[in-house]
Amino acid sequence: MAIARPLSERVEQIVRATPVHDIHTHLYDPAFGSLLLWGIDDLLVYHYLVSEGFRQFDIPYDSFWSASRTQQADWIWKALFNDHSPLSEACRGILTVLQSLGLEPRHSNLTQLRSWFAAQKPADYIDRILQLANVASVCMTNSPFDDEERPLWDRGFSRDPRFRAALRIDPLLVDWPRTSARLRTWGYDVSSDRSPRTAAEVRRFLADWTRRLNAGYCMVSLPPDFSYPADTDTAWLMREAVLPHGRELGQAFALMLGVKRAVNPALRLAGDGVGRSNLDALQNLCAANPDNRFLVTVLSRESQHETVVLARKFRNLHPFGCWWFTNTPQLIEEITTLRLELLGTSFTPQHSDARVLDQLLYKWDHSRSVLSRCLTRKYTDLAASGWLVRDEEIQRDVTELLGGGFDRFVRS
Ligand code: FIX
Ligand code: ZN
C-alpha cells in the first residue's frame, strides 16, 4: 500500500509548481532596454539595502550618491555582508538569488560575481529568471509622467506578452497644480477650476493612456492622511475623473495606502516611510461606488485587520500583497493567515514589487515558503474537523491565490 505523503509536502510541491502572475512590480518590458535592471550591482543598490547600508556606514549622503554604482555596491557589500551577518530579509534575498543561480558568495568575491553576470545574454537571462522563479507574467508600473518611459510608449514597440501594463497616476492625484500644467502642454484642456470640462479632459487623458498601454488596471499610492470624500483636488479628481473612467472602461483601481514619501529625502528612493491609514476613506469609496472595483494594499501592519474586515463588507474590494515593509516572512505569515481566516481564498496574498529582475527569484521563493506553511496549517485544521483536502482542491486554491482570483476580479 502506498504511503500517504505528508500534507506539508503536497502543499509545498503544488505551491512551488504553480506559475504565479506577479501583479505588481517595477520591472519593464525588455524593449525598455536599460530600464529593466538586473545583475549583482543593481541587486546590491536596491533601495531596501541602501537604507540598511546607511545604518552601518558613516559615508555622507552626498558622497554616496555621487559615487559610481560599483562603488556603492562595494560599500553595501562590505557593510552588510562582510562586516555583519546578512540577517535582514533584503540581505537574505541576495543570497537566495545567488544560490538559485548556482553561485557561491562565500567562495567568490564581487569581481567574480560581476564577471558571471556580465557574461549573461539579456534575452536568455530574462527567460531563465522567469522560468526559475516560475513566474508566468509580471505586471509593470507604467507612468505617463515618467520622462524615461513615456517616449517609448509614444513611439510604440512590440510588446513581450509576459510583461503586462498598469497605469500609474500618482502625480495626477497628489500633485495636481504641477500635473495640470503638464497635461495642458500635452494638449488636454484642463485648468484649476474643478469644472466639468477639466474632469472630461482628465478622463480623456486616462482613456488615451489606458489604450496606449493596454493597462490591466489603474493605480496610485497615497499617504496615510488620504481622506474621501474631502474638499481636496485628490478627492475631486477621483470622484469626477478616475472613478467614472474606471466604470466606463471596466477598469479596476488599485490603491496603495499608507506611504509617507520622503521622510528622509537625503536617502532618495530609500527615504520613504509608513503611517497608519485612515481607512474610513476606503470604506467610503467602496460604499459610494459599488460599480467600481478596488484593489488595495496597505503599508502599515496596524491597518491590515481593518482592511480585511472591509473586504468582508464590500465585494468590490480585493486585498493584495504584503507591501514593502510588510514583505518580511513573519509579517507575510501573520497577514496571510489573517486573510485566509477571514476571507478564504478571495484575496491575492502577494506581489513581488521587484525592481530588479533577479529579485523575482528570492521574493517568490520566500513568499512561496510562507504561503505553503500558512495553507498547510489551515488544511490541517480542516482535517481535524473531518475535511480531508484533495490535491486537486489544493491546486484550485493555489491557482486562485497566485493570480487566478486577481485576474477574475480585474476582468469582471
Ligand atoms: O509605490 C510603490 O509602488 C512602491 O512599491 C515603491 O515606491 C517602493 O519604492 C518600493 O519599491 C517598495 O517595494
Ligand atoms: Zn511598488
pLDDT digits (tens, 9 = 90+) for 307-341: 999 999 999 999 999 999 999 999 999 999 999 99
Q: Taking a C-beta distance cutoff of 8 angstroms, is the pair 191, 166 a contact? A: no
Instruction: Convert the pLDDT of each residue in 140-154 to its tens digit.
Output: 999 999 999 999 999
pLDDT for position 1: 66
Query: How much is the pLDDT for 167?
Result: 99
Give the contacts of 304 (CB within 8 A, at least 6 positions apart).
298, 326, 334, 335, 338
Which residue's CA lies nearest to atom 11 of ligand 1? 353
26 C-alpha to ligand 2 centroid (Å): 6
Is residue 168 within a helix (H) or strand (E), and if so which, with residue range?
strand 163-168
Does the pLDDT value for residue 2 go beyond 80? no
* Substitution candidate for ligand 1 out of 22, 24, 26 with most atoms within 8 A of CB: 26
Give dist(CA 353, CA 339) in Å, integer. 20
Report the first-to-last Cα separation within the chain, whole angstroms: 46
Distance CA(96)–CA(103), nearest Å, equals 10
Q: Please report the sign of the dihedral spanned by the C-alpha atoms of residue 189, residue 192, residue 198, residue 201.
A: positive
How distant, in Å, are the alpha carbons of 248, 293, 298, 299, 405 from that of 259? 29, 22, 8, 7, 26
Task: Give the start-to-end residue ranges of the domains of the chain.
Answer: 166-319
CA distances from 50 to 25, 59, 242, 266, 271 (A): 19, 12, 35, 11, 9
Whole-number pLDDT of residue 28: 98
Rounded-to-integer distance, Cα 300 and Cα 311, Å:
17
pLDDT of residue 29: 98
Q: Which residues line ligand 1 (CB under 6 A)?
A: 26, 141, 221, 256, 269, 324, 353, 355
Is pLDDT above 70 for 261?
yes
**Which pLDDT score is estimated for 24?**
99
Identify the pLDDT of residue 3: 80
Would you call 377 helix, strand, or coil by DSSP?
A: helix
Percent of the chain exceeding pLDDT 70 equals 100
Superfamily (CATH) of domain 166-319: Metal-dependent hydrolases (3.20.20.140)
Looking at residues 187-196, what average pLDDT do you find?
A: 96
Predicted TM-score (pTM) of this structure: 0.98
> Which ligand has its closest atom nearest to the C-alpha of 46?
1
In tens, the pLDDT along 62-89 reads 999 999 999 999 999 999 999 999 999 9
